[in-house]
Every structure is written in C-alpha cells, then in structure tokens.
Amino acid sequence: MRKLDIAIVGGSIAGCSAAILLTRAGHDVHVYERSQGGLVGRGGGIGTPRSVLDSLMEQDIVDDDLPHLNPPLVPLLVRTAAAPRQGHSTWQMPGGLAVFHWTSLWRSLRRRVPDDRYHQAAHVVDAVDASTGRVELTFNDGSTTDADLVVWTDGYQSLGRQLMFPDVELSYRGYMLWRGLLPEQQMESVGVLESSLVRMFYPTMPGNMVAYLVPGEDGSSVAGERVVNWAAYIALAEEDLASFMVDRSGMPRMGTIPPGALRSDEEDRLKKLMAAELPDVYSDMVARTTNTSVQLIYTARVPGYHRGRMCLAGDAGSVAQPFTGSGVFKGYNNVSGLLDSLERHDDLDAALGEWGPSQVRLADGLLALGEQMEDAFIWNPLDLAESDAEATEAWWKDAFTFPEGFSLEATDNRKT
C-alpha cells in the first residue's frame, strides 16, 4: 500500500490510538478534534482486559508505567437484612480487568501525537467522496481539506456514522448510568475495594452498581490519594427522558449530563434511592459524592465499517453497553485490523473490503455480550440473597459468551 493522507475525525482515545498506529506505519495523518481545549477531565474510571493494556504498553502506544490497578477479585453483592452494612456475597469472580483514570490514558496517548498533527477546535460538519477519489471534509467555519482516507472516531453520536449509514439509529435501552468519583480520603475506609472491583445488585428494582479504586487524576496510586469510581445503572423510562434530561441551568441535554450539571433535586432523589438499595458502606460512598454525571445508555449496530473512502472506529461504529468494558479493546482492534489490511493490499478499496466485514463480526460479538449482560445485570438478575456459591458461579458462567480474544475474567474457565 502506498502511503496515504489520512484524516482522523475525533481526538479522544480511539482517535489518538489510530493516529499513533497509522503514523508509525508511514502514513501522513492529521487529527481533527472539535473541542476548544484538551479533553482532560472528560471521564472518570474505566477498565479494559489486562491483555489489552499489556498490548498497548508493549507497542509503546501508552506509557509502560501508565498508572493503573489490577483488582484480583469481583465479588457479587446484595444488601440483605442480615448484612445491611457490607452486603451479602457467596461468590467472587477472579478479576481480569486493569482499571485506570480516563484522563491518564488520554494524556499518555495524546503525548504520542505531534502537536502539528492534532488540530483542536476543528469541527467537521460534512464529508463527501470527491470525484478525485479523495474525501473532502468541510469545517464549521466553511474551510475544507481532503484526504485519501477518513477514519471517524467521533464517538457514539458519530457524524461519520450518520453520513455513511443514515438509516442506523441509536437505540435507547431503558436505563441510565449515574456516575461519581469520590476521593479515597473522604471515605472512612475503602474496605474490600482495596482488592476488589465490587458489583452490587439491587434487591427491589432493576439495575446494579460497580465500584472500584483507580489512581488519582495526577496518577498517584498511593493509599489515600486514589479515587473511588462508582457507576450505578438505574432504570429510566423513555417517557421520562424529556423531564429528567434538563440540567441545573434549565438547559435540555442530549445523551449526557456532565459532572456538576445534574439538578440537585434529581441528585438527591437518586441518592435516596441508592440508600434503600445498597449496603450502607456503598450508599454512604454515593451520598458523599458531589458533581455526579449521567449517561443515557444506547446501542447501535452498523451493517458495515466503511463506505467509499470513509471508515469507522471505536464507538463511531457499533455501540455496545458500557458494562462490557470493551471500549478501549474495540477502538484498538478496529485500527490495528485496518493497519493489517492496508499492509496486505496495494489497493485501498481492496484493503477496506477485507477489513470491514471482520470488524462487523467483532462488533456483533460485543453487542451479543452486551445484551447478555443487560439481561443478567439489569432485567433478570440472579437472586443473590437466596443463591449459594456453586449456583452463583454456574449462573455467571452460563450467562455470558465472550467473543474470541476478549474476556473480563482472569482465567480461561469460561464458555467460548
């Protein structure tokens, strides 16, 4: 493959990963990010399979000392009358995730993209395949540029997906993700979070919550300087979205309410809800948290990953539920697969034709896993209060089919 002029639309995790890999392969890459400033502070704690983080480190895509933690256990908890404070658990899964602060990951990636190739406040509003065989991008100020190939990495509300597959719509899943970050020093004790990523199920309503420690935004993993990341999945009827998705200033929001913008009456209501459902240790953690945020949960399936000389990567393609923990994995594999196809072909259309179907298969496997997890975690969970260790483990292993090369577990003792 000749060396290509490649435009990447979106400068977050997937966009920076794409820029690093494609630049190292010798292509001429420019990244266009619509935000005015850096993306620091945009996210909280996230996780990815340890094998994925190991691959990123081995290839020097991220720093080999990227601050992260490896919780070895994933206990499944529920509040019971006999265990109202710590919660009741009969089984814990061997953990297979590395967890870290979103900002630390983005900073590590961003440092590897030259400043003269990363264009901030570059808001792409249109793209067309030109008669020259190149793709022409139009920006909100009316200026244009063109490229041999455009890679859209602009997230779950992707303009690229809308342009390439206008019939594909986001599907609301009937619940939201309410998130918070609490400095460890504001907790009386981190307890089991010292060695665990805890998943808690609600005894009386659909949904569940996860909580785990991550290094602080400054990268410190020292005890007392870490941050507790919690994320609560809570059912929210579609007919209630319009009234709920109004921020503190009275502005309607689409999809997300950023930290600090959730109305105080809604934040208080959600905290009271968690006080009734969670073990006291964790409801207290939620109660102490300020500046919480909301993300509505959507999925989308794309029939292809390229059209003409444009392609999709990360959440710009198919969108799976976040509890799959597949975001970093998907973006990395989309781009590394594209690079492999480019290296095997001397014709761009042939390379894209080979690459696209493989990415649809990958995405479909993650979407299937997301639906399994949605059923098990939200709508039809096991009654943990009445289950023993053997039954709980059997339920877990029967509930999920992990796609090839991807797992949240630390062992290979799973259905494949």
The DSSP bridge partners found for residue 135 are 129, 147
Angle between helix 327-344 and 13-24 (nearest 10): 20
Statement: residue 412 has pLDDT above 50: no
Percent over 90 (pLDDT), the chain? 87
Q: Which two tokens stand for residue 279?
A: 């073990």
pLDDT at res. 256? 95
How far separated are the first and last CA of the chain, in Å rounded?
A: 35
When pLDDT is averaged across residues 204-223 and rounded to a whole number, the result is 93
Query: How many Å is the Cα radius of gyration of the chain?
Result: 22
Q: Which DSSP category does 142 fall into?
A: S
Statement: residue 12 has pLDDT above 70: yes
pLDDT at res. 142? 97
pLDDT at res. 415? 35
Largest separation between any pair of C-alpha atoms in the chain: 71
When pLDDT is averaged across residues 200-221 and rounded to a whole number, the result is 94
When pLDDT is averaged across residues 82-108 and rounded to a whole number, the result is 93
CA–CA gap between residue 247 and residue 259 (Å, rounded): 10
- Confidence label for 416 from pLDDT (cuts 50, 70 and 90): very low
Q: Residue 124 belongs to what H/E stretch?
A: strand 124-129
When pLDDT is averaged across residues 220-247 and rounded to a whole number, the result is 96
When pLDDT is averaged across residues 284-302 and rounded to a whole number, the result is 96
When pLDDT is averaged across residues 119-126 and rounded to a whole number, the result is 97
CB 9, CB 160: distance < 8 Å:
yes
Q: Going by C-beta distance under 8 Å and a sequence separation of 6 or more, which residues neighbour residue 111?
A: none
CA–CA gap between residue 312 and residue 315 (Å, rounded): 8
pLDDT at res. 41? 57
> Over the range 183-212, which residues count as b (16 or more CB within 10 Å of their CB) and which as e?
ebeebeebebbebbbbbbbbbeebbbbbbb
Statement: residue 364 has pLDDT above 50: yes
Statement: residue 413 has pLDDT above 60: no
Helix H segments across 76-208?
Answer: 102-110, 159-164
Statement: residue 231 has pLDDT above 90: yes
Q: Going by C-beta distance under 8 Å and a sequence separation of 6 or more, which residues neighbour residue 158?
A: 10, 152, 312, 315, 316, 317
Q: Going by C-beta distance under 8 Å and a sequence separation of 6 or more, which residues neighbour residue 317?
A: 158, 161, 302, 305, 330, 334, 359, 363
Chain centre distance of CA 281: 26
CB 303, CB 360: distance < 8 Å:
yes
pLDDT at res. 219? 87
